[in-house]
Each structure stands twice: as structure tokens, then as C-alpha cells.
Chain A
Amino acid sequence: MQHTISVLVENEFGVLSRVASLFSGRGFNIDSLTVAPTNEEGLSRMTIATRGDEQILEQITKQLNKLVDVLKVIDFSDDSAIEREMVLVKVTAEDENRAEVLRIVDIFRAKIIDVTPKSYTIEATGNPVKMDALLELLRPLGLKELVRTGAVAIGRGVKGWKG
């Protein structure tokens, strides 16, 4: 089962590799990982998309919590979070395909950010599942290049991560 985990970490030297090597050393999967500073000085937030059964997920969160630099681990396994991902994709767009690409872009509320006579570059943001759907539709038209940021997630409701 796919899980999205937020990890709040001290912005210390080597913290990214501590987290990454924990996953590789213990044989856990990483589907995507993003990291950037938060509004609080010295704190960064990682969002990790991972897979595993309940027991593996429990180990992942416990092992992450055990790292000295990890302040908090939040497992968004249910619908308690909103997830977003950004995709930049360069698509072949010639002749009749140009209109088709534009239609798809419109449906997904994406944007064209670069144009050539033979291609469009598209910027899209949304739930990762939606991004998959967008790419499914674009794929037959010819994907030249694809970049995804990986998911970021934030809890729903009035409360922040501190509760």
C-alpha cells in the first residue's frame, strides 16, 4: 500500500543521507522524496512516498523517529492529507496533435510554459494520481522529457503539525 510520510528534521549536515540510507539499509522503498526548509528556522520537511504493509510502515515510522535529527514523523495513510505534485513535461505537438494537447491541458487546468513549432512544454500541478492520469493521456502523443517533483503533503483542517 502506498503511504505518504512527512518527516520534520533538524536542518543538520548529512540529515538527508541519514534518512536515505535508513531506507536503503533496511530495504524500504522510496517512490519519491522531496525536501525543503520550513517556516521555522533550522527545520526542514521531507515528504516521502513509500510502500509496504502495515508492519513495514510501522517499522519505517519507528526507525525514522529513532534518528536523532528527526523531530516528528507523520504518516498520512488515510484521507487526512492533501497531496500535490508538480509535473513539467515536454510533449511532441505537431499538426492535429497540437489541438489535442491543448484540450488535455485545458481539462487538467495545466499551463503551456514553452512553445516551439514541434512541441509544447506543460506545467501541471495536482494530486499525484491526477498527474498520472494526465501523463497517461499525453503519453500516446509522444513524451520527450518528463520531470516530477514528487508529492508534498499537508494535513487537512485547522491544526498545524504541532497540533
Chain B
Amino acid sequence: MKMNGARILLECLKKEGVDTVFGYPGGTVINIYNELFSFKDINHILPRHEQAGTHAADGYARATGRVGVAIATSGPGATNTVTGIATAYMDSIPMVIVTGQVPTALIGNDAFQEVDIIGITRSCTKHNFLVRDVKDLAMIMKKAFYIARSGRPGPVLVDLPKDVQIAQTEFAYPDTVEIRSYKPNLEGHPRQVEKAVAMLLESHRPVIYVGGGVILGNAADELTNLARKLSVPVTTTLMGLGSFPENDTLSLGMLGMHGSYYANMAMTHSDLIIAVGARFDDRVTGKIATFAPSAKIIHIDVDPTSIKKNVRVDLPIVGDVRDVLARMIKLSDKQKEKVVELKAALAPWHEDIADWKTKHPLGYKQSSTVIKPQFVIQKLRELSDDDAIIATDVGQHQMWTAQFFQFNKPRTLLSSGGLGTMGYGLPAAMGAQAAFPERQVIAICGDGGVQMNIQEIATLVQNRLPVKIVILNNNFLGMVRQWQELFFDKRYSQTCMELPIDFVKLADAYGAKGFSTSKPGEVEMVIKQAFKEKGPVIMEFKIAREEKVLPMVPAGASLNEMVLNA
């Protein structure tokens, strides 16, 4: 059947199983919206800003594992998506972003609302396409989804000029796609996998270091299984939180700059690090020269560029982490005696770790007069559902959440790890809630970040998305203030948000519910009340203003040079 490009786009989305898109209309996408008006198979959510729409698609993708879809018009609509795209790119989140473009005849003429979004997003997308002929549209959409979700996932942008949306052609969605220059290597080399198991069975102080790749690759079960079978301790990055249950005794929690003392000590003293779907980010390794000096490193990742980028690697395995871990389990199952030997040999290592855990557990000083942010996070864990989804912004509250919430299930923490995007939390929670209307979705924000996309409360109310927004309010840009306190003689340059905002009234103005407290004794009550509400809620906790995130590895220091109390 002949149809126009706009309709073909929607049919392609339907064929890809897309049920929800986040988009904002405008001049060069008006034809798409005209088709959408009578297209009943896709739920469209209108954010109040294209950046938020893109973060929402990202949150949807992280929570579900499916490809998130965002639509924006040309020019400013397209540029507003860039922060969202870069956020997704840094964290390898599968997304397809469709932008309108001026008609092909006008491209390059500085037309109204024209911008070279292909050029702008070249370095922050996995790939991008300009559709110049409606006949190519279906195949390009097929390729876009395939590229976005396969291999190391990432955002793909499709730029769709207005005349291509209007032009007509026969629609047929391709069943298969083949890109000769794009063939991700999914199968880890069998010999390398065998060697990895052999190295693991002979190790004395092994640590499994897990990144977001295990969550993206749906390998949390395999990882948990392997670690428990061999009784190997597991530490995760921020992006890896939830891939291994933190309530397991083998869990070392998060490592790195604000990781636990025991995770960083374990890395430093390890003789074998098995890195799975992680990329040795500078926030994780600390000073590279002194990182894990006595450890051999096995690195499993689907993306060969991640391997040997920052650290030396003794055994690289390029492949799908789930497949590789599953084969490691099989191989170790065949060597039962050696597994028993390994477990016995690991006893002193577990003792060392237990000592570190006792010596410097994660903690804070409780107060009866002022709310400690860590206390709020612990209460949230205690009072929320087991499968609650948490989205955060970036800064102190993000690190307190990572340290104290205790994530036990994959895809329950949505956080901008790589790019560190303030303003991410609220719209990401919105996207997750759109995917799972029945689950508890909580956005944990600071007073700085929440104001970067505060307008989305309107979207929550309009779409009946009952996100619970927690604001840990210290009237500071807290993380920068903490650095200024520790490293810049307390010169709090431009980090004090001096105007107190009445977040209860603000919630009210949007038609949401608002609670606020500054008393530790009321924290539990506020959370309970908020969780009872059927709609979106703001919970403001006025917290100890100069509370710091500790422990901390100062930038450029070694992992074992942690500041424990400052």
C-alpha cells in the first residue's frame, strides 16, 4: 500500500514493537503529528522540553531493556535533544531519535529552524542517518533499530526532511537487515574463555568488577550465579549497581571515587580482576599508575575499544557478556574439584575483606536535630517496594543513593554515569513510569538538578504518571561545594542557591502533591504519606547543609588513598 513518509515512520515504529514515544511537535514534524492523530497503536507523551523527552526515552530504555524513541522538530528542537543523546551515548543506551529537517531542497540554505543535526550529533551517536528518499526510509529505520540495540548499544539519530515525510511510496518493512560493515562480535573466543576460567580457579585474591554492560547485556543472573558458585567477591560501578544483589555477603558495593573502602582495598590487593562490561573509567581506577598493582586483568566486553583503552589487560575476551559468563559457568561446573580447592584457597581473602568491612563500613553520624541525607535514602529503601525503580540526578544525592540504597535487582537504578547530566533524574523517572505504570518509580534529586527539568511535573500530572520525587535540599550545589570545601579553602563560589523555594506550593501549582520537612522524626511519615498518594508527589527534605559524601578518593589519588573522615 502506498503511504507518505510520515505514516511509514509510524508503521516502522509499530513493526519494531514501540508502544510509547516521547516527542514534541514543530514545523518540520507536523506531518508526523498529523498521522499520529489517527494512529492508535502508539502512546505519545508530550514532555515540556525536548531534552526531557530524550531523557524520558532513555529512562524507558534503561528500565525495560527496549529501544527508547524520541521525536523532535528541526533546529532548536533537535539541538535540545543533544544533551539527552550524549547522556545515552556515554552509558550505551539503545535509543532512536527522529528529528524533523527542513525540506531537502532547502538544506544548506540557512532555512528557518535549520541546523546540521547530523554534523552536531556525529560524535555523540552510535550512528546517524539523513533520509533523502522516502524509498529508503523503511530500511533506514530497520537499520537504526538494529544498530541501536545490537553489540554495544547506543543512540541512533534519523534526520527526516519534511518533503520526505510528505512523499509517497509503497511500504514494506524489511524482515532482515544486513550491514556488511557492521558485524558485532558476540561470541567470546573459546580458548580465551577457557583460559579465563583456568586463571580464576588458580587465583587467591580474585575480584569481579562489574559495569553497566552486565545490565545492558541482561547477564545479571549469569554473573550472580558464577560469583556464588566460585564464591568470588563482586564490586560494581555506578552503572553496574543492581547487577549483583548488594544484600549478598559477596557484594563489596560500589568501587571508585565514592565507593566503599573495602571495594577499593580489595581492588588494590587483588591478584586477579575479572572486569565484566566495564571500562575502567577514571572515577573507578583513581591514579592509573598505582591501580591494582599486583593483579592480572581479564576483561570481558562486547566493545573491543573498551579493552586496553585505559589499563593493561592480560586476557581480553571480546563478546556478549551473557554468553561468555554462561560458558564460564559451564566450564567451572566441569571442574568440581578445582572449585572446591578454590573456595578453600579463598578463605584468607574473605577474611581480609571481612576485616576491611568491619574496620571502615559505609556510615554517617546520625542526628536528632537535622535530617541526614543518608538516613532518607535508607528509609526510602526500607519503605519502598522491592522492585521500585530509582532515578537520580547527578551529584551528592546520587552518590548517597549509590552508597545507601542497596540495589538488588538489575534495571532498578537509572542514573547518568558517564556524562553526569544534571536534570536527568525527573524525566528519566517519567520514562520508566510510562513503561511500568504499576511499579513504584522514585526520582531522587538535589535541589540543583531538579530545577533543571522541573517543568516535567506538568507532564507527570497530565499523563497520570505517579512518580515520587524526592528532593534532598541543602540549598547548595552540594558536590561542587564539597570540592570547594576540601580543595579550595571553602571558597563557595556560586554554589549557594540562596533563594529558598517553596516546593510544596510548586507541586500545588502543577496540580501535584507536595510535602516538606526538616525534622528527622518526620522523614518516615512523609515517605509513607507520599507513597500512599495515587499521583505524582514532591517530598522535600531539608537536609544537613554541609554534609559530605564520604569516603572519597580525591581526583588523581590512588584507590587506597581514601579520605575517610574529613
Contact = CB atoms under 8 A, between A and B. Distances in A.
Interface of A: 9-10, 13-14, 17-18, 21-22, 25, 55, 58-59, 62-63, 65-66, 68-71
B127 interface: yes
A6 B119 CA distance: 24
A9 B181 CA distance: 8
A65 B304 contact: yes
A68 B119 CA distance: 16
Given A68-B147, A71-B180, A62 B304 contact: yes
B305 A62 contact: yes
A103 B130 CA distance: 54
Interface string B295-327: 000000001110011000000000000000000
B499 interface: no
B157 to A, nearest CB: 12
B14 interface: no
Contacts of B132: 13
A56 to B, nearest CB: 10
Interface in B172-219: 179-182
A14 B303 contact: no
Given A14-B118, A62-B305, A25 B181 contact: no
A126 to B, nearest CB: 32
B305 A68 contact: no
B228 interface: no
Given A68-B127, A68-B147, A68-B182, A21 B122 contact: yes
Contacts of A25: 123
B130 A71 contact: no
Contacts of B119: 14, 17
A71 B123 contact: no
5 contacts: A17-B119, A21-B122, A59-B305, A59-B309, A62-B305
Given A58-B308, A63-B305, A14 B181 contact: no
Q: Is the interface of B mostly helix, strand, loop or mixed?
A: loop
A153 B209 CA distance: 42
Contacts of B308: 55, 58-59
Nearest to B180: A71
Contact of A18 (B122, B147, B180, B182): B122
Interface string B127-155: 10010100000000000000100000000
Classify the secondary structure of A's interface with B: helix
B123 A21 contact: yes
A68 B126 contact: yes
Contact of A13 (B123, B130, B179, B309): B130
A66 B123 contact: no
A13 B131 CA distance: 10
B181 A10 contact: yes
Nearest to A58: B308
Contacts of A10: 180-181
A79 to B, nearest CB: 25
Contacts of A18: 122
Given A13-B132, A17-B119, A66-B305, 17 more contacts: A10-B180, A10-B181, A14-B118, A14-B122, A21-B122, A21-B123, A22-B123, A25-B123, A59-B305, A59-B308, A59-B309, A66-B303, A68-B181, A68-B182, A69-B181, A71-B180, A71-B181
Contact of A68 (B123, B179, B304): B179
B129 to A, nearest CB: 9
Nearest to B143: A68
* Residue in B118, B181, B304, B309 with the greatest tally of chain A CB atoms within 10 Å: B181
Contacts of B122: 14, 17-18, 21
A115 B368 CA distance: 94
A86 B303 CA distance: 38
Nearest to A14: B118
Contacts of B118: 14
A12 to B, nearest CB: 9
B305 A70 contact: no
Nearest to A42: B180
Interface in B83-137: 118-119, 122-123, 126-127, 130, 132
A114 to B, nearest CB: 37
A61 to B, nearest CB: 9
Contacts of A71: 180-181
A69 B179 CA distance: 9
B310 to A, nearest CB: 10
A13 B127 CA distance: 12
Interface string B521-542: 0000000000000000000000
